[in-house]
Amino acid sequence: MKKDSPVYIFLFITILSIVFGVAISLVHYLSLDKLKSNERMIRNRSISRAFNLHVEASNGEAFENAIRANIEKKELKSSSGTMQLFISKNQPREIGFVFTGIGFWDRISGILVLSDDLNEIKSIEFLDQKETPGLGARIEEEWFKEQFKSIPIDWSKPAASRIVFGQKTSNGKVINGITGATQTSSALQRILNSELERFIQTYKQ
Amino acid sequence: MASSGKLFIDAFWKNNPILIQVLGVCSTLAVTNLLANTLFMCFGLIFTTGLSNLTISALRNHIPDRIRMIVQVLIISIYVMIVDIVIKAVSPDIHRFIGPYVGLIITNCIVMGRAEAFASQNKPFTSFLDGIAMGMGYSMILVLIALVREPLGFGTILGYKLPGLELWWHQWTIMVMAPGAFFMLALFTWFARAKMAAPEGATK
């Protein structure tokens, strides 16, 4: 059969796709357990960091144990859907919730931890984001997350303007967006405000 | 084996993919601020260039000319997916940072360039060596740049703090950012090309 005949080309590309498709599926299948446990470890580590838990080892089990000992998990259901809550068992009590929304490229999700009276942000951690590396993805950097600590939340303000990047809050603190990542910064501000509103509505119910 | 040695010397110096061919610059700028990230990226590229060259060369007499580029991209992307899965399983933290660039190895000009220019015309073993050599030539420059950027940007090497940090070190933020890599790459390229041009100039 001639190499340039349509039948040869069709058969060649079909066989090649099947062989390589099976190979990559096999590699994926063999690593599935490891990938899942890594995902769980990263999630638990983010929760531990959000609540400032001191964990000696950095493996999945250690983070899981720390969370089990110090944090109570709850699921709140309301008309606007289900919300995952994390409440610290230690004093002073802190309440965290999982926020999620569409960033510039894809979904951004994370945990926002509030003080017991819900009037102040204690910390923020990200669970998942696929923003532009070097630009929007810098939301995961420490300096950016640090800015959220002690930011007051004025619940009397309209839902869309409780957190405004670049604006001084009542205690003189400012959250700066990321230069060169305006779309990610705006999206994150929008997500946090809408999720804070969803949280307070769910929490009240 | 003399030709194998020449392949490696060419890849490291005379025909270095980054300094001379100016290929693979995107990832050079992106992943060289930490040595650990750089090493994983280098592993990915060496693995992909070596095995994709080997596979393409082994199939070269069977690949229809009209679709050879599609076949090459298909083969390269399979190896890149394997690298991506392996890094994700071994080091999820590093994968979070370099993940997008690992995917971009598919479009890295070094891999495609060697597949088309070398592997499709040479025997499998020689092609495999060429891929490994080119990957190592790329890796050498990346590691050299990372060895400058990480100490100046973070005061560490592979995450370990350098001695007497408080006495001499002040964070050089530009080395953490991509422009730091631009400067380092330009300096290395200038040095390499000046060194290469020197004997030529002397004979004139």
User: In angstroms, rounded to a whole number, what is the distance separating the alpha carbons of residues B36 and B97?
Assistant: 11
User: In angstroms, rounded to a whole number, what is the distance separating the alpha carbons of residues A79 and A167?
Assistant: 32
User: In angstroms, rounded to a whole number, what is the distance separating the alpha carbons of residues B122 and B7?
Assistant: 13
CA distance to partner chain B, nearest, from residue A47 (Å): 16
Q: What is the DSSP string of A11-47?
A: HHHHHHHHHHHHHHHHHHHHHHHHHHHHHHHHHHHHH
ipTM for the whole complex: 0.76
Kindly report the average pLDDT of chain A as a whole number.
Answer: 89
Q: Over 90: is that where the pLDDT of A124 sits?
A: yes
Query: Which pLDDT does position B145 carry in this prediction?
Result: 93
Q: Which whole number is the average pLDDT over B118-122?
A: 91
Q: Which whole number is the average pLDDT over B56-80?
A: 93
Q: Do B71 and A13 touch (CB under 8 A)?
A: yes
- For residue B95, the chain A residue with the least C-alpha distance is A38
Q: Over 80: is that where the pLDDT of B23 sits?
A: yes
Kindly report the average pLDDT of chain B as a whole number.
Answer: 86
> Cβ contacts (< 8 Å) between A24 and chain B: which residues?
78, 81-82
Query: Which pLDDT does position B15 carry in this prediction?
Result: 84
Q: Do A9 and B66 touch (CB under 8 A)?
A: yes
- Residue for token pair 């899965």: B85
Q: Do A27 and B82 touch (CB under 8 A)?
A: yes
Which of B68, B82, B106 to probe by mutation at the A interface, max A CB count within 10 Å?
B82
A133 shares contact with chain B (CB less than 8 Å): yes
Q: Do B86 and A31 touch (CB under 8 A)?
A: yes
Tens of pLDDT, residue by residue over A60-118, are 788 888 888 889 988 888 777 788 899 998 888 899 999 999 999 889 999 999 998 89
B:68-127 residues touching chain A, CB 8 A cutoff: 70-71, 74-75, 78, 81-82, 85-86, 88-89, 92-93, 96-97, 100-101
Tens of pLDDT, residue by residue over A24-53, are 999 999 999 999 998 888 889 999 999 988
Q: What is the percentage of chain B residues whose pLDDT exceeds 90?
A: 42
CA distance to partner chain A, nearest, from residue B43 (Å): 18
DSSP H helices in chain A: 6-50, 60-70, 142-146, 182-204
Query: Which pLDDT does position B200 carry in this prediction?
Result: 52
Q: What is the pLDDT confidence band of residue B99, given thresholds at 50, 70 and 90?
A: confident
Q: Which whole number is the average pLDDT over B89-104?
A: 84
What does the domain layout of chain B look like in residue ranges? Answer: 2-195
Q: Over 70: is that where the pLDDT of B88 sits?
A: yes
- Residue for token pair 């998990």: A73
